Amino acid sequence: MAKWHQLRKRIHLLCFLVFLALPFCDVVRFDIPQQRFYFFGYELWINEFGIIFFALMFLMFVVIVASMVFGRIYCGYLCPQMIFSEASAWLQLQLRRWLKHRGRGAPWLAGAAFYGALAVASVILAFIFIAYFVPPVDLARRLATLDVHTAAGVCGASVTLITFLDLAFVRLRFCTTVCPYGYLQGMLSDGNTLLVHYRDEGHTCIECKKCVRDCPMNIDIRTSPFQIECVHCGECIDSCETILGRLRKPGLIHYSWGVEGQSRFPLDAKRAILSLVVAFYACGLFAALSMRHAVLVRIAPDRATLYRTGPDGRIYNHFRYTIANRSHQPAAVVFSTQRLPGAAMALAANPVRVKAGETVQGEFDISMPPARHGEFVTHFNLLTSTIPDPVTETFPMTFISPTEAQ
């Protein structure tokens, strides 16, 4: 009968595996030293603000819509604090039972075994957590040398200590005291949000209080479905169905959409609009990612001097470029001009080669023969072709000449 409990434990295991895998697969990771944001296979640079903005807005609206529709399901089923707190309590209980079974039930021994195991688990969990912000290889090197001198080392040691104290002494008290999500949920929910709801029109409650004893948050769901401590885990639903099932009666506690006890998902205007907003950000994010070029080229004219006349009599204009290779393979960029007859490009090397992950800056001149009746401003295009990506970009530019023929 413990269907919600079993479902929750399976989801907890899946979440733990996902939490473990994400930083190592670069699915979602914010690399602070490299200033890179990894998002589902894309390596975004910190200057790609537009895409990062869309990604963060998309995730934020997913959280808002999920909270409004499903209430605190995240807390009960997906939250790492809940998952690791329950795992810590389970480990403590299992160790105590195991030692007692072997005739070593002294409290100090059970305590020492638990805190020892928790210390090891805290190092592993802190390592995984920090790997979301620091490359795992770099982190492993720091851990191997017991680095507690640099800022990253002190940060790692602090997170380990906080994790240990949290899982040893705080656990689910965090949810009702510090965590802001529970308070935020109160603002996001409405009359159709998913609830854990007690209904007993037939007065069949036998006051066994098993729902209270099994509640991880130590509350009585019968007093109100809107208690801030309730994380919608569904343990009390299993408890009541187990007890009343023995009397061949249905349970009195259920998941329901709102206090009216609707069993069907309500699709009102608010949910429809928010779903459209999520879809909008998802489309924007998809479009921004698909239009993204792995090699970013920026070119700007240097107008500190409009032009200069060389010893060869030609007119020179000066330009600067920046090339950022955001891919994992070397790239080369070929420069050329269009609609500028007689132009010559003075570039140290053309193509410009850029290593993977490297940003290079440089400058070059474009020269033209002096025009007898030339224009002061000639509009032309600078073209860049990227290798190996077959991307050609066009940069509209102007060439400045003396106003009178020389």
Strands 391-400 and 359-368: unpaired
Q: Which of 131, 240, 315, 400 binds ligand SF4 (CB under 6 A)?
A: 240
Residue closer to ligand SF4, measured from CB, 108 or 183: 183
Q: Quick check: 139 binds ligand SF4 (CB under 6 A)? A: no
Residue 179 · residue 172 · CB < 8 Å: no
Amino acid (one-letter) located at 250? P
How far, in Å, CA of 31 to CA of 39, rounded?
Answer: 11
Residues 6+ apart with CB under 8 A from 11: 77, 78
Question: Least distance (Å) from ligand SF4 to the CB of residue 215?
Answer: 3
Q: Could you tell me the smallest distance in angstroms from the CB atom of residue 68 to ligand SF4?
A: 18
Q: Does 8 bind ligand SF4 (CB under 6 A)?
A: no
Taking CB under 6 A as the rule, does residue 230 contact ligand SF4?
yes
Strand partners, 364: 319
Answer yes or no whether residue 278 interacts with ligand SF4 by CB under 6 A: no
Q: How far is the CB of 240 from ligand SF4 (least distance, A)?
A: 3
Q: Per rule CB under 6 A, is residue 9 in the interface with ligand SF4?
A: no
Stretch near ligand SF4 under the rule CB under 6 A, chosen from 10-18, 103-111, 215-223, 294-302: 215-223
Mutual orientation of helices 49-70 and 269-290 as an angle, nearest 10°? 150
Applying CB under 6 A, among 79, 83, 243, 294 the residue interacting with ligand SF4 is: 243
* Residues belonging to the chain: 406
Q: 101: helix, coil or strand?
A: helix
Asked if residues 315 and 309 have their Cβ atoms less than 8 Å apart, the reply is yes
Least separation, in Å, of the C-beta of 46 and ligand SF4? 40
Site for ligand SF4 in 192-211 (CB under 6 A): 196, 205-211
Instruction: Examine residue 217 and tell whether it contacts ligand SF4 (CB under 6 A).
Output: yes
Partners of residue 321 on adjacent β-strands: 299, 362
CB atoms within 10 A of CB 125: 23
Q: Does 236 bind ligand SF4 (CB under 6 A)?
A: yes
Comparison of 236 and 368: residue with beta carbon closer to ligand SF4:
236
Burial 21-57 (b: 16+ CB within 10 A, else e): ebbeebeebbbeeeebbbbeebbbbeebeebbebbeb
The least distance separating ligand SF4 from the CB of residue 171, rounded to whole angstroms, comes to 14
Q: Given the rule CB under 6 A, which residues bind ligand SF4?
A: 196, 205-211, 215-217, 219, 221-222, 230-236, 239-240, 243-244, 252-253
